[in-house]
C-alpha cells in the first residue's frame, strides 16, 4: 500500500531535517548524492510499511541517521548505513545488492547491522553466541555498534507503542547491555537517556514521581546555582577566560538508584546537580595546567572536600573521558560537585568514541591510550572465546561498567585493571603464560598470595614456577574476562587430555580381563564409581581421581545393576514435573504451588511488584522483583520467556517469610527494648533473631522477623524511621518458611 499525502509530507520533513544536520559533514556534491541515493533506496524498499505507531516505517531509519550525525557525531558513511540498516533484513534487497550500489564498506556495515538485528531474536545460548560474533564488529568497525546504539535509542523513544511483555524484554536488553555499552563508548547523554527510558516503562509511577519533584524544585535549585556560581564567574571573567558555566541535574534513573541503594526518600538526595565549567583552552600552558588553575581559583572561594577530588586529566578513563571533578562546600553548608574541562574534553564526554577518534588523529601523543587498550582486550577476548557463550556475554558486560585502577610493573609500565582485580588478574594481563605459571606476587616489594586484591598505585611483580598450573577455583578469584577465558581454556584442554588418557587406561585395563567396551559394561562401571557419563569417568581416571584397582570385582558383580537403578532414581528425583504441571498457565502465586519458584537473587515478598521468568529447561516460573538486576540479565538473554501476563500474588496468607531489616543510628538507653516492643506488641510479629552492635555511640543492628507480605514489612520499617536515634532503615534479604 502506498503512502498518503500526509505520510509523504512527514517523510519529506524528516528527510529535510536530516539534510540540515548533514551540512556539517558533507564536504562535496558526492557526499550529498551518496546520502540522497540511500534515502531513495530505503524509501522504495520500505514503501507502504508502517510501524506499530501507524507512522511510515521510513521515519525510523531517518531518525536513526539523525541520531548518528547529531548526537554521536558520525560521518557520511554512517548516515548512509543508518538509512539502509533495515533494508536487507526486512526487504528483498541483499547484501550483494547494497555492495553493487554503495560499495564494499557500506555493504559490510549494513551486513553487521543486519546480523545484530537478529541477536535478540535467537534462543538462549545461541542468542549470546550470536552477540559474541557481532561484537567482532567492535574491533573491526566500531561505527556498526554506534549505529546500533542509535537504533536502540530511537526504539526506546517510541517504546510506548509496544505491548507490556515486549517492553520488559526490550528494557531488559537495554539496561543490561546497551546502556553499559554506550557508557563504555563514552556516550554519557545517550547512556543516561537509555536508563531513564528503561525506568519510564518499567517503573512509570516512580519515574513520574521523581520527574514531578524535580520540576517542583527547579526554581529553588536554579536560584542556589546562580548564587553558587556568582563569585566563580567574577573570578573567571577577571582572568579573561572564555567559558560556559551551567548546573546539570542528575538523571532520573541515577537519582532513583541512589534512593533504592540508600533506601532514602527524594528529599534526602542532596547532590541533585553538578556545576560544569567548559572553557576554551589557549595554546600555552597545557590544558592540564589550565584546568588546575581554574580548580585553584574555585578552591580559593569554596573549601574542597579532599577525598572527593577526581583527576581524570592525568589519567583519563578507558573510554577517553577527561575532566577534573571536585566537591566543594557551597553556601548554606551544601556540598556541590564542580566539573572542569576544556571544549575538546566536553566534546569527547558528550560524543565519546567519534570525538575521541577525531582528536586522536590530530594528536599523535594519544596513539596508545586507554581506549585503544580496551579495544585490544576486546579483540583478544573475541579471538579466544569460552565454551559458554552466555558466560562470555556476562563477562563482557562486567567489563563495561567496572571502575578502574592503575597499577605498575617492576619497570614502571602502567596497566589498567577493573576495581577489585587480584594479583592473578594482573599476571594474566601481562601474558597468559605468566598467569598459568603464577604462584605468588611481590606487591610493593612485599610477598603476597596470588589471590591478593590490588589497588591503584601498587607496583607488582609476579612469581612463577614451571610446575604450576591453573586451578578451577581460580575462576572464583579473577575478575577480568581475559583471565577467566585463559583459565577456562586451560582447564578445558586439560580435561580433554585427561579424557583421552583416561580412556586409554580404561581400555587397557579391560583388555587385561579380555573384556571389550559395550553399553552393559559402561553402565556397571558408571554406577559403581558414581559418574553420570563416560566423559566424566574417563576424565576422573585420567586425573587420578578414580583408580581402577577393583575393576575386576565390579565387572563380575551383579549388584552393579541395582546400584545403577538406585543412582538413576536418585538423580531423577528432583525433576518430576509433568508437562501438564509445567504448562497449566496459572497466574497466581500461591502456597504449595510447585509451578512457582521464589527467586533467591531478590527474594520477593507478597505485595512486591513481580515479574515471572519461565525456565526453558524445567518449565517452572521463577518469580523476581521487577527491580531485580538478574531479571534484566534474563530478559536480555531469554526475552521470550518473560511471562506475558503480569503474575499476581494469591490472597492466601498462610505462608510466613523470614525477612531482615538493617538498622543504623545513634545508640541510647532503652533503644533495643523500644525496637522489640514495636515488633511484638504494636505489630504482633514474631522475632527470630536480633543482633545489635554498638561502637563509639553508633549502633548497627539486624532484625530477623517473620512477615506475611511486603505491606507488613514496609509498615514496620516506616514505624522504625520515626524512632528517636534511628537514622537508617533498610530491607535485607528474605527467605520463605512455611
pLDDT at position 531 is 82
Question: Last residue of some domain: 154, 187, 220?
Answer: 187
Helices (H), 654-722: 671-677, 710-721
- Average pLDDT rounded to a whole number, residues 377-385: 58
> Looking at the structure, do residues 645 and 661 belong to the same domain, yes or no?
no
Rounded-to-integer distance, Cα 435 and Cα 465, Å: 11
Which contiguous run of DSSP H or E holds residue 227?
helix 218-238
Residue 573: pLDDT band with limits 50, 70, 90: very low
Inter-helix orientation angle 218-238/287-301, to 10°:
120
pLDDT on residue 300: 94
Residue positions annotated with a catalytic role: 89-90
Are residue 321 and residue 289 in the same domain, yes or no? yes
Number of domains in the chain: 5
Q: What is the DSSP string of 300-369?
A: HHS-B-GGG-EETTTS--TT----EEEEEE-GGG-EEEEEEEEHHHHHHHHHTHHHHHHHHHH-GGGTT-
Give the span between the Cα atoms of 523 and 564, in whole angstroms.
7
> Same structural domain for residues 604 and 529?
no
CB 427 within 8 A of CB 434: yes
> 589: domain range?
579-649
Asked if residue 405 belongs to a domain, the reply is: no
- Residues 174-191: tens digit of each pLDDT: 887 888 888 878 888 999
Alpha-carbon Rg for the chain, nearest whole angstrom, is 30
CATH code at position 668: 3.30.70.260
Listed in sequence order, the residues at least 6 apart from 706 whose beta carbon sits closer than 8 Å to its beta carbon are 656, 657, 658, 659, 685, 686, 688, 737
User: Which three cell numbers mark 641?
Assistant: 520467556
Q: Tell me, yes or no, whether 628 and 720 share the same domain.
A: no
Residue 722 lies in a domain: yes
pLDDT for residue 581 is more than 50: no
Which of the 8 DSSP states describes residue 251? Answer: P
How much is the average pLDDT of 531-559?
Answer: 79
231 with 331, same domain: the answer is: yes
Query: Domain with 311 in it: what CATH number?
Result: 3.30.460.10
Domain-located, residue 364: no
For residues 125 and 390, is the Cβ–Cβ distance under 8 A?
A: yes
Of 113-117, 163-167, 380-384, the poorest mean pLDDT is in 380-384
103 and 252 inside one domain: no
pLDDT tens-place string over residues 39-86? 999 999 998 888 888 899 999 999 999 999 999 888 899 999 999 998
CATH number of domain containing 77: 1.10.3210.10
pLDDT tens, 639-685? 778 875 557 776 655 567 778 898 988 888 888 888 988 988 888 88
Give first-to-last CA distance, the chain, whole Å.
61
Residue 90 has pLDDT above 80, yes or no: yes
Specify whether 29 is located in the same domain as 158. yes
Single residue among 631, 649, 667 that ends a domain in this structure? 649
Please count the other Cβ atoms lying within 10 Å of the Cβ belonging to residue 388.
14
Tell me whether residue 472 is in a domain: no
What are the distances in angstroms from CA 48 to CA 8, 36, 43, 117, 321? 11, 19, 9, 21, 43
pLDDT, mean over the chain: 81
Q: Determine contact, residues 634/613, Cβ cutoff 8 Å.
A: yes
* Co-location of 505 and 546 in the same domain: yes
Report in angstroms the alpha-carbon separations of 363 from 350, 354, 358. Answer: 19, 15, 9
Q: In sequence order, what E strands does 401-507 have?
A: 404-408, 414-418, 438-443, 446-448, 460-464
671 shares its domain with 636: no
Give pTM, 2 decimals.
0.66
**Three cell numbers written together for 22:** 548533514
- Mark whether 553 and 597 lie in a shared domain: no
If you average pLDDT over residues 352-358, what whole number do you get?
A: 64
Helix (H) or strand (E) holding 726: strand 726-737
Residues 82 and 147 both lie in one domain: yes
Amino acid at each position: 500500500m502506498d503512502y498518503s499525502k500526509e505520510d509523504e509530507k512527514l517523510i519529506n520533513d524528516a528527510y529535510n531535517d536530516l539534510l540540515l544536520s548533514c551540512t556539517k559533514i558533507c564536504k562535496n556534491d558526492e557526499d550529498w548524492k551518496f546520502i540522497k541515493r540511500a534515502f531513495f533506496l530505503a524509501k522504495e524498499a520500505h514503501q507502504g510499511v508502517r510501524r506499530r505507531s501507524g507512522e511510515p516505517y521510513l521515519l525510523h531509519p531517518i531518525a536513526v541517521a539523525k541520531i548518528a550525525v547529531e548526537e554521536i557525531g558520525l560521518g557520511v558513511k554512517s548516515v548512509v548505513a543508518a538509512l539502509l540498516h533495515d533494508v536487507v533484513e526486512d526487504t528483498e534487497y541483499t547484501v550483494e545488492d547494497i555492495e553493487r550500489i554503495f560499495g564494499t564498506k557500506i555493504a559490510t556495515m549494513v551486513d553487521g547491522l543486519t546480523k545484530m538485528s537478529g541477536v535478540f531474536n535467537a534462543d538462549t545460548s545461541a542468542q549470546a553466541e550470536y552477540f559474541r560474533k557481532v561484537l567482532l564488529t567492535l574491533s573491526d568497525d566500531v561505527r556498526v555498534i554506534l549505529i546500533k546504539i542509535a537504533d536502540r535509542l530511537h526504539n526506546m523513544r517510541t517504546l510506548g507503542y509496544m505491548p507490556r511483555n515486549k517492553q520488559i524484554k526490550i528494557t531488559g536488553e537495554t539496561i543490561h547491555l546497551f546502556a553499559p555499552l554506550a557508557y563504555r563508548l563514552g556516550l554519557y547523554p545517550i547512556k543516561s537517556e537509555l536508563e531513564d527510558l528503561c525506568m519510564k516503562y518499567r517503573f512509570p509511577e516512580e519515574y513520574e514521581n521523581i520527574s514531578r519533584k524535580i520540576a517542583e524544585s527547579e526554581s529553588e535549585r536554579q536560584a542556589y546555582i546562580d548564587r553558587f556560581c556568582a563569585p566563580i564567574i567574577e573570578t573567571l571573567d577577571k582572568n579573561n577566560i572564555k567559558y560556559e558555566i551551567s548546573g546539570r541535574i542528575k538523571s532520573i534513573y541515577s537519582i532513583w538508584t541512589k534512593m533504592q541503594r540508600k533506601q532514602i526518600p527524594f528529599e534526602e538526595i542532596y547532590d541533585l546537580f553538578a556545576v560544569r565549567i567548559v572553557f576554551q583552552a589557549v595554546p600555552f600552558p597545557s590544558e592540564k595546567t589550565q584546568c588546575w588553575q581554574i580548580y585553584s581559583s574555585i578552591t580559593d572561594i569554596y573549601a574542597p572536600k579532599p577525598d572527593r577530588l577526581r583527576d581524570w586529566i592525568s589519567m583519563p578513563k578507558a573510554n577517553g573521558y577527561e575532566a577534573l571533578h571536585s566537591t566543594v562546600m557551597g553556601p548554606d553548608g551544601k556540598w556541590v560537585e564542580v566539573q572542569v574541562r576544556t571544549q575538546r574534553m566536553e566534546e569527547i564526554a558528550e560524543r565519546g568514541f567519534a570525538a575521541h577518534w577525531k582528536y586522536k588523529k590530530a594528536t599523535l601523543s594519544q596513539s596508545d591510550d586507554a581506549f585503544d587498550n580496551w579495544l585490544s582486550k576486546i579483540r583478544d577476548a573475541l579471538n579466544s572465546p569460552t565454551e559458554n557463550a552466555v558466560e562470555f556475554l556476562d563477562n563482557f558486560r562486567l567489563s563495561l561498567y567496572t571502575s578502574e585502577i592503575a597499577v605498575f610493573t617492576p619497570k614502571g609500565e602502567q596497566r589498567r585493571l577493573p576495581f577489585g582485580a587480584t594479583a592473578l588478574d594482573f599476571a594474566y594481563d601481562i601474558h597468559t603464560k605468566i598467569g598459568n605459571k603464577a604462584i605468588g606476587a611481590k606487591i610493593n616489594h612485599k610477598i603476597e598470595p596470588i589471590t591478593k586484591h590490588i589497588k591503584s598505585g601498587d607496583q607488582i611483580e609476579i612469581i612463577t614456577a614451571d610446575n604450576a598450573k591453573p586451578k578451577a577455583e581460580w575462576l572464583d578469584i579473577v575478575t577480568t574476562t581475559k583471565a577467566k577465558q585463559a583459565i577456562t581454556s586451560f582447564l578445558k584442554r586439560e580435561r580433554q587430555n585427561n579424557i583421552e588418557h583416561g580412556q586409554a587406561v580404561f581400555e587397557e585395563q579391560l583388555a587385561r580381563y579380555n573384556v571389550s567396551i559395550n553399553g552393559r559394561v559402561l553402565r556397571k562401571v558408571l554406577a559403581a564409581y558414581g559418574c553420570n557419563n563416560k566423559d566424566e569417568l574417563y576424565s576422573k581416571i585420567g586425573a587420578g581421581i578414580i583408580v581402577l584397582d577393583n575393576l575386576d570385582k565390579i565387572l563380575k558383580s551383579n549388584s552393579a545393576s541395582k546400584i545403577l537403578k538406585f543412582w538413576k532414581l536418585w538423580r531423577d528425583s528432583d525433576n518430576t514435573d509433568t508437562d501438564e504441571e509445567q504448562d497449566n498457565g496459572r497466574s497466581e502465586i500461591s502456597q504449595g504451588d510447585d509451578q512457582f519458584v521464589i527467586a533467591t537473587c531478590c527474594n520477593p515478598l507478597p505485595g512486591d511488584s513481580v515479574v515471572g521468568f519461565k525456565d526453558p529447561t524445567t518449565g517452572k516460573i521463577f518469580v523476581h522483583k521487577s527491580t531485580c538486576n538478574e531479571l534484566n540479565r534474563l530478559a536480555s538473554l531469554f526475552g521470550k520467556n518473560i511471562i506475558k501476563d503480569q503474575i499476581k500474588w494469591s490472597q492466601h496468607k498462610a505462608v510466613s517469610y523470614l525477612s531482615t531489616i538493617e538498622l543504623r543510628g545513634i545508640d541510647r538507653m532503652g533503644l533495643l527494648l523500644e525496637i522489640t516492643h514495636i515488633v511484638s506488641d504494636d505489630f504482633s510479629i514474631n522475632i527470630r533473631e536480633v543482633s545489635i552492635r554498638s561502637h563509639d555511640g553508633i549502633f548497627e543492628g539486624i532484625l530477623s522477623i517473620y512477615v506475611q507480605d511486603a505491606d507488613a514489612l514496609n509498615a514496620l520499617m516506616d514505624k522504625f524511621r520515626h524512632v528517636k536515634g534511628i537514622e537508617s532503615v533498610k530491607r535485607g534479604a528474605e527467605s520463605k518458611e512455611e
